[in-house]
Structure 1
Amino acid sequence: MAKLICTAMTSLDGYIADAKGDFTWAAPDAEVHAFVNDQERDIGTYLYGRRLYDTMVFWETAPAGPAEPAVMADYAELWRAADKIVYSTTLTSARSARTRVERTFDADAVRALKDSAERDFSIGGAELAAHAFRAGLVDEVRLFISPVIVGGGTRFLPDELRLDLRTVDERRFDGGCVHLRYLVSR
Structure 2
Amino acid sequence: MPTFPPGALKINVSFNHISGIRSKAFFALSDLRELYLDNNVLSEVEICNGNNSVSLTLQRLGLRNNMLDNTSLGDLFCLQELQNLDIRGNVYNNYPESIPALLNLNLLQIDVFQDFHFNRSFLSLTNLSELVLQPRGMLTIENNSFEGLYNSPIRDMHMRFGGHVHKHIGKNFLHPFRFLKILY
With normalisation by structure 1, the TM-score equals: 0.28
Q: Which of the two has greater helix per residue?
A: 1
Q: Larger Cα Rg: Structure 1 or Structure 2? A: 2
Q: Which of the two has greater strand per residue?
A: 1
Structure scoring higher RCO (CA < 8 A, sep ≥ 6) equals: 1
